[in-house]
Amino acid sequence: MAMAQNVAQGDSPAQGQPARPDLAAMLVPLGRALMAAEQPILNAQGLTMWAYTVLLHLDEKPIRTQSALAEAIRADKTRIIAVLDALEARALIHRQPDPEDRRARLLSLTPEGRLLRDRVQYAIQQGEERLLALLPAEEREGFLRGLRTLSALPDLTLE
Amino acid sequence: MAMAQNVAQGDSPAQGQPARPDLAAMLVPLGRALMAAEQPILNAQGLTMWAYTVLLHLDEKPIRTQSALAEAIRADKTRIIAVLDALEARALIHRQPDPEDRRARLLSLTPEGRLLRDRVQYAIQQGEERLLALLPAEEREGFLRGLRTLSALPDLTLE
DNA sequence: GAGGTTAATATGCATGCGCTTACGATGTGC
DNA sequence: GCACATCGTAAGCGCATGCATATTAACCTC
């Protein structure tokens, strides 16, 4: 009697013994573990996670302002300055005043920056493929596709 | 010529334009977004994320020591004390000295704790199901199965 | 040209968290 | 009985982060 009364709406019996752990309870530790696993690769190239994130986003398209970059990678406007300093000092990025608006700094990857980004990402994704190889083929495909879809959602709300 | 030389091993062309973003680059923001989406539900019950995590883990099986709990939820041994204090003050958990070893504190959910855990998790998973409903059925199944498999791995290494 | 706005930068503050140390209470081995 | 280990607790340090403020240079409007 007490078993069924709470499963009224929806087809997911989350009451009592749930059918699965919470998504965040699986996603967050997995994400942390992956970041930790990437760290040695980044360390070997003298890159912080923020620096790597910057390289990744700059590669897609050159960005006009640092604020836009900060917002895109969900970092603090003032905190990425040191990151950009370090990347510029290693000639991995260009940071030139926009001739059209000299307040802004045009950001772009240098060839060396692109090369390093490629090397690091290749190493990381090679490792990831080894992990994904543990999954059956269709499961792997569904995982990747679902992950891409969900992570592309603009903003999530549960209510 | 330069295009193919680096894709020697494996079937994933991660060099140049990668076929997909890094896993962590999708997982971590998605996990953060989910946690943020859960926050209002937890706030409504006066629970912190740590407190909810404790409730989740205590429900599976009673735990003998606080250290074991801390390790299980990857929290700091000393930091969960305040969390347990608060949960105990609200009578959501029991924390009794183990008669066999009075140094240890036996931890378990009270009926009220289990009830609250059920309510909160039900609300959260209801919201999650709405998100998952955005995915095609087989994609959703693969995503969930892959996620469960990967998050169950004891320790990840990319090298 | 004066006033208001925006970008980049520097700086400070508060928070949360991982890590370490210290201590008292308890248990174990000799 | 005594040395040592273990558990819970308290306190502090250090680092990363988010948030806010202030400054300077450049732009824009009138």
Q: Which is higher by pLDDT, B139 or A154?
A: B139
pLDDT at A17 (0 to 100): 63
> CA B83 → CA A29, B12, B53, B78, B140, distances in Å?
20, 45, 10, 10, 35
Question: What span, in angstroms and rounded, lies between the C-alpha atoms of B136 and B147?
Answer: 16
Which residue from B minimizes the CA distance to A129? B12
CA of B27 to C1' of D28 (A): 42
Cβ within 8 Å of A, B 97-126: 118, 121-126
* Sign of the four-CA dihedral A155, B57, B112, B65: negative
Each residue's pLDDT tens digit, B68-95: 999 999 999 999 999 999 999 999 999 9
Structural domains counted in chain A: 1
Residue in B7, B159, B146, B21 with CA at minimum distance from that of residue A132: B146
Q: Which is higher by pLDDT, A61 or B146?
A: B146
Does residue A150 surpass a pLDDT of 80?
yes
CATH classification at residue B91:
1.10.10.10
Does residue A93 sit within a domain? Answer: yes
Q: Which of B9, B17, B48, B143 to mutate to test the interface with A (most CBs of A within 10 A)?
A: B143
Each residue's pLDDT tens digit, B21-73: 999 999 999 999 999 999 999 999 999 999 999 999 998 777 889 999 999 99
Query: How does the average pLDDT of chain B come out, rounded?
Result: 86
Residues of chain B in contact with residue A31, where contact means CB-CB under 8 angstroms, are: 24, 27-28, 30-31
pLDDT at A138 (0 to 100): 83
Q: What percent of chain B has pLDDT over 70?
A: 88
Range of the domain at B107: 45-148
State which nucleotides on strand D lie below 7 Å from a protein beta carbon. 6-12, 17-21, 25-28
Contact between chains at B23 and A121 (C-beta distance less than 8 A): no
Q: Which is higher by pLDDT, B82 or A138?
A: B82
